[in-house]
């Protein structure tokens, strides 16, 4: 697998650098630092210079012009914390500035085995001095509070090198009032709360205004000699100055360690930061070795080899690596839709994690998936509160987007109304359980989530004759809002209710305590079963397809042919009501239900439905194409599956949605993994058992990946000559392989010829 992403001699324009800030960000699930430049960029550049801590937020006003009952008035926003990136360099009093003079060579690398990024700049100044500066950065996976920069400065003819390195406490968040996917306003949200210096180590303490959180950042420099440190109260910043006179061929190398710790992890962040500085700011060689070790373990299980062109292989590795970088593992944080790479969607957590990211983690690193799922359990009390705000007497309603657990959707028709979030979370609980048989999880956390989400469906839906219906909700497709009987929502509610009804049997002896704690009665379980059994799913007899909702197929079709190409995404060019009144989809909706909820639909109906929605879907959301690819594979439409795969796999590397500069699209990255595992390899993990039916795209020679299922580690290797499944580790395992059942025990493999 190709794990080296390198760009050379790129232009230094705003657009390129903005994109690279995202692509070369460093993160470890807790700290995320954008790949902005130590030396800065011209002030007129629209740069998003940021350092983020997963789940560290403040609460800001979200004023509604008409304060209707229950609408939110404030929301969480992920905060940009102290800037420890900035480093100025001069040689013989001439400032190093790649935007003046000549860049002779520039190069950026992300090494996904080493877990570091590197930037090399060879530059000639206006006065003719030549200088090579190399920066290496790492957010340590083993030491979650540590970020480090190694800097090497080599003036070709020697000279006096002066370094000015900042630890800046006064920072702002990014804003763009023209794009609804970004914050519209930015202010200083972090308030200075203290500073101290111990030796050459500097500490800045800051408070949020409203959420009551505190963060401490610490910086330690290791220069060859001692530095001059000063504090500037106006900018709540420390500045370290160091100078050295170098001879020709010599270079100045120094290390800048950053520690960040916030009050969710430590009662006294300053004391914690001091300890972390003492423990974690160790020799770089040790840190680099640890990072490699961590990643060797990660890749051992996650590796997916694509035997074809180099780009596919690299793009898949890139996506997997970014998912790892994004993933919180402390029960307090989750996976933001942009990971820790940027401020798009203000660092909010959506259903993206359950439906798109969790499968990758569950199948490659079940222990990490388990840690991640804890977050949803932790915010269950707030989901119960939210249900009350929405007028429900029972159950829990998870917020559509959030950090702390409170609802943060400013525009409720395309936000809060997406009740399917409850079914998505329930689905993730079940999928994790089916893949791991982790009964402890089910008993300790999963059951409570399944019950409380199921309860809500009974409260939001109603009986109409002998059908159970759900009105006034929004499905995944945000171009149709507040509809009745959204096919996806009703399908996920049915799935949720069915699994909640099975809990007494699944939890065994533990059920008594769970039922007592949550006051579950037999009558309630019976209610779940009946509603699931009689759940109404809209179907159009004339077209022979599932309708997205009750009214969807009665609306006029959107005129795609007459829509100028630069009017996509439609959401930036048309009033929402115009979109709602047409048959046009932002993203996969009905067909996503086919993938997830195992509803027993017949193949012909699915094919017709697929063909219908394919024509009216814009894929304005990056969550869409991957689903079309997987469902196409499922339906044997392999050419289509391949086309969607191609359009989706490298989406961020190629910036196909035009907004990767605001952050990566984690859902699409998880989706790209699923396109191979669940799509091409046809893997299904349902209550009926496991199955694989791999096919290999024409232009590939083959692919290979490993997967954790029910305590076993399997390796699937598919080529045009056949497919082999090997049991690498763990218990014997049975599954359907194409159309036969096989049982695999240690040291055995099963093969099928001509895939």
Shortest distance (Å) from residue 400 CB to ligand BGC: 8
Task: Kindly tell me which residue out of 57, 350, 642, 735 binds ligand BGC, with binding defined by CB under 6 A.
Answer: 350
Pair 159, 127: CB distance under 8 Å: no
Shortest distance (Å) from residue 569 CB to ligand BGC: 8
Q: What does residue 254 show for φ and ψ, rounded to 5 degrees?
A: -145, 165
What are the E-state strand segments in 29-126? 31-33, 51-53, 57-61, 74-78, 87-91, 94-95, 102-111, 116-124
Q: Which of 144, 337 has the CB closer to ligand BGC?
A: 337
Q: Which of 31, 667 has the CB closer to ligand BGC?
A: 667
Q: Is 351 in the site for ligand BGC (CB under 6 A)?
A: yes
CA-nearest of 595, 673, 596, 301 to 428 is 596
Q: Is 478 a catalytic residue?
A: yes
What are the E-state strand segments in 444-598? 462-464, 467-469, 539-540, 545-546
Shortest distance (Å) from residue 293 CB to ligand BGC: 33
Q: Which stretch binds ligand BGC (CB under 6 A): 205-213, 299-307, 350-358, 454-462?
A: 350-358
Instruction: Give the x/- contact pattern for ligand BGC in 584-603, rule: CB under 6 A.
Output: --xx----------------
Task: Give the integer Cα–Cα distance in Å for 424 and 419.
Answer: 9
Task: Give the integer Cα–Cα distance in Å for 153 and 87.
Answer: 12
CB atoms within 10 A of CB 267: 8
Shortest distance (Å) from residue 30 CB to ligand BGC: 21
Residues in 667-706 at the binding interface with ligand BGC, rule: CB under 6 A? 667
Q: Which of 123, 350 has the CB closer to ligand BGC?
A: 350
- Distance set, CA 595 to CA 488, 491, 633 (Å): 10, 11, 11
Task: Kindly tell me which residue out of 621, 629, 660, 710 binds ligand BGC, with binding defined by CB under 6 A.
Answer: 621
Q: Which of 109, 489 has the CB closer to ligand BGC?
A: 489
Q: Which of 350, 412 has the CB closer to ligand BGC?
A: 350
Q: Which of 265, 625 has the CB closer to ligand BGC?
A: 625
Q: Which stretch binds ligand BGC (CB under 6 A): 77-85, 347-355, 360-368, 533-541?
A: 347-355
Shortest distance (Å) from residue 351 CB to ligand BGC: 6
Task: Kindly tell me which residue out of 21, 352, 407, 752 binds ligand BGC, with binding defined by CB under 6 A.
Answer: 352
Q: Which stretch binds ligand BGC (CB under 6 A): 212-220, 348-356, 576-584, 634-642?
A: 348-356
Pair 439, 370: CB distance under 8 Å: no
Q: Which stretch binds ligand BGC (CB under 6 A): 60-68, 182-190, 260-268, 346-354?
A: 346-354
Token readout for 150 is: 């190694």
Token readout for 655 is: 């910036």
Shortest distance (Å) from residue 625 CB to ligand BGC: 13
Pair 503, 513: CB distance under 8 Å: no
Pair 103, 122: CB distance under 8 Å: yes
What are the E-state strand segments in 387-507? 462-464, 467-469
Token readout for 191 is: 């308030």
Task: Kindly tell me which residue out of 478, 524, 614, 684 binds ligand BGC, with binding defined by CB under 6 A.
Answer: 478
Shortest distance (Å) from residue 352 CB to ligand BGC: 5
CB atoms within 10 A of CB 720: 14
Token readout for 484 is: 């009745």
Token readout for 643 is: 């086309």
How many residues belong to the site for ligand BGC (CB under 6 A)? 12
- Distance set, CA 86 to CA 82, 169, 238, 573 (Å): 10, 12, 11, 38
Q: Is 326 in the site for ligand BGC (CB under 6 A)?
A: no
Task: Give the integer Cα–Cα distance in Å for 577 and 472.
Answer: 16
Instruction: Give the x/- contact pattern for ligand BGC in 78-117, rule: CB under 6 A.
Output: ----------------------------------------
Of 39, 478, 524, 614, which is the active-site residue? Answer: 478
- Distance set, CA 26 to CA 87, 341, 403, 650 (Å): 17, 8, 21, 19
Instruction: Give the x/- contact pattern for ligand BGC in 534-573, rule: CB under 6 A.
Output: ----------------------------------------
Token readout for 649 is: 């796999």
Q: Which of 239, 383 has the CB closer to ligand BGC?
A: 383
Q: Which of 350, 528 has the CB closer to ligand BGC?
A: 350
Q: Which stretch binds ligand BGC (CB under 6 A): 33-41, 185-193, 274-282, 343-351?
A: 343-351
Task: Kindly tell me which residue out of 20, 202, 337, 650 binds ligand BGC, with binding defined by CB under 6 A.
Answer: 337
Shortest distance (Å) from residue 667 CB to ligand BGC: 5
Shortest distance (Å) from residue 452 CB to ligand BGC: 22
Q: Which of 557, 572 has the CB closer to ligand BGC?
A: 572
Return contacts of 110-113, CB within 8 angstroms, 24+ apart.
Answer: 110/4, 110/5, 110/6, 110/23, 110/24, 110/318, 110/321, 111/3, 111/4, 112/3, 112/4, 112/5, 112/295, 112/317, 112/318, 112/321, 113/3, 113/4, 113/292, 113/295, 113/296, 113/299
Q: Is 580 in the site for ligand BGC (CB under 6 A)?
A: no
Encode 189-208: b = buried (16+ Cβ within 10 Å), e = exposed: bbebbebeeeebbbbbbbbb
Token readout for 258 is: 């950053």
Cα four-point dihedral sign 289, 291, 294, 297: negative
Q: How many CA atoms lie within 13 A of 581 on its CB side?
A: 5
Shortest distance (Å) from residue 579 CB to ligand BGC: 12
CA-nearest of 147, 165, 135 to 251 is 135
Q: Which of 28, 668 has the CB closer to ligand BGC?
A: 668
Residues in 648-667 at the binding interface with ligand BGC, rule: CB under 6 A? 667
Shortest distance (Å) from residue 290 CB to ligand BGC: 32
Q: Which of 417, 447 has the CB closer to ligand BGC?
A: 417
Residues that bind ligand BGC (CB under 6 A): 337, 345, 350-352, 476, 478, 586-587, 621, 623, 667
Active site residues: 478
């Amino acid at each position: 697998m190709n794990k080296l992403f390198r760009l050379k001699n790129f232009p230094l324009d705003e657009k390129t650098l903005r994109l690279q800030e995202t692509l070369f960000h460093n993160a470890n699930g807790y700290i995320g630092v954008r790949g902005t430049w130590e030396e800065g960029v011209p002030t007129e550049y629209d740069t998003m210079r940021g350092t983020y801590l997963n789940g560290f937020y403040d609460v800001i006003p979200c004023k509604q012009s008409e304060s209707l009952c229950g609408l939110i008035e404030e929301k969480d926003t992920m905060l940009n914390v102290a800037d420890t990136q900035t480093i100025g360099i001069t040689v013989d009093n001439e400032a190093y500035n790649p935007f003046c003079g000549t860049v002779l060579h520039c190069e950026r690398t992300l090494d996904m085995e080493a877990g570091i990024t590197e930037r090399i700049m060879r530059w000639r100044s206006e006065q003719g001095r030549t200088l090579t500066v190399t920066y290496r950065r790492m957010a340590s996976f083993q030491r979650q509070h540590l970020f480090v920069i190694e800097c090497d400065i080599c003036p070709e003819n020697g000279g006096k090198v002066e370094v000015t390195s900042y630890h800046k406490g006064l920072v702002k968040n990014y804003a763009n009032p023209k794009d609804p996917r970004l914050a519209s306003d930015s202010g200083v949200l972090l308030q200075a709360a203290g500073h101290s210096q111990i030796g050459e180590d500097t500490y800045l303490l800051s408070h949020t205004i409203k959420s009551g959180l505190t963060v401490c950042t610490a910086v330690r420099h290791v220069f060859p000699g001692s530095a001059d440190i000063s504090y500037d109260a106006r900018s709540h910043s420390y500045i370290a100055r160091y100078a050295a006179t170098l001879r020709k061929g010599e270079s100045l190398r120094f290390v800048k360690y950053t520690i960040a710790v916030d009050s969710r992890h430590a009662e006294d962040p300053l004391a914690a930061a001091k300890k972390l500085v003492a423990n974690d700011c160790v020799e770089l060689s040790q840190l680099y070795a640890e990072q490699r070790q961590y990643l060797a373990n990660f890749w051992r299980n996650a590796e997916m080899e694509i035997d074809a062109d180099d780009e596919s292989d690299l793009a898949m590795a890139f996506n997997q690596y970014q998912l790892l970088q994004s993933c919180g593992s402390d029960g307090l944080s989750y996976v933001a839709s942009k990971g820790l790479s940027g401020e798009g969607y203000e660092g909010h957590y959506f259903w993206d994690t359950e439906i798109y990211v969790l499968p990758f983690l569950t199948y490659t690193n079940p222990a990490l998936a388990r840690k991640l799922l804890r977050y949803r359990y932790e915010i269950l009390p707030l989901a119960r509160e939210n249900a009350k705000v929405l007028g429900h007497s029972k159950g829990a309603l998870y917020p559509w987007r959030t950090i702390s657990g409170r609802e943060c959707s400013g525009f409720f028709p395309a936000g809060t109304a997406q009740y399917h979030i409850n079914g998505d979370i329930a689905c993730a609980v079940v999928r994790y359980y089916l893949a791991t048989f982790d009964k402890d999880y089910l008993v300790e956390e999963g059951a409570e989530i399944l019950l409380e989400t199921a309860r809500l469906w009974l409260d939001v839906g109603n009986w109409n004759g002998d059908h159970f219906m759900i009105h006034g909700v929004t499905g995944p497709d945000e171009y149709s809002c507040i509809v009745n009987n959204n096919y996806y929502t009703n399908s996920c509610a049915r799935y949720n209710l069915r699994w909640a009804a099975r809990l007494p049997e699944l939890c065994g002896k533990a059920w008594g305590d769970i039922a007592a704690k949550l006051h579950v009665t037999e009558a309630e379980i019976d209610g779940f079963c009946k509603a699931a059994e009689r759940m109404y799913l809209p179907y159009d007899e004339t077209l022979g397809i599932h309708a997205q909702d009750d009214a969807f197929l009665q609306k006029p079709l959107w005129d795609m042919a007459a829509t100028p190409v630069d009017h996509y995404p439609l959401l930036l060019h048309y009033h929402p009501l115009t979109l709602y009144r047409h048959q046009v989809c932002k993203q996969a909706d009905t067909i996503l239900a086919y993938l997830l909820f195992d509803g027993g639909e017949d193949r012909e109906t699915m094919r017709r439905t697929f063909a219908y929605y394919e024509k009216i879907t814009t894929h304005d959301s990056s969550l869409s194409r991957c689903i079309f690819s997987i469902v196409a594979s499922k339906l044997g439409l392999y050419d289509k599956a391949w086309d969607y795969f191609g359009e989706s796999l490298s989406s961020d590397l190629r910036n196909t949605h035009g907004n990767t500069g605001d952050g990566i699209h984690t859902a699409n990255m998880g989706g790209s993994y699923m396109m191979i595992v669940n799509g091409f390899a046809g893997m299904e993990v349902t209550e009926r058992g496991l199955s694989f039916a791999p096919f290999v795209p024409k232009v590939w020679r083959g692919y290979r990946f490993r997967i954790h299922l029910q305590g076993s580690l399997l390796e699937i290797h598919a080529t045009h000559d056949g497919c082999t499944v090997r049991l690498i580790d763990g218990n014997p395992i049975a599954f359907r392989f194409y159309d036969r059942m096989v049982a695999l025990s240690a040291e055995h493999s099963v093969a099928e010829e001509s895939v």
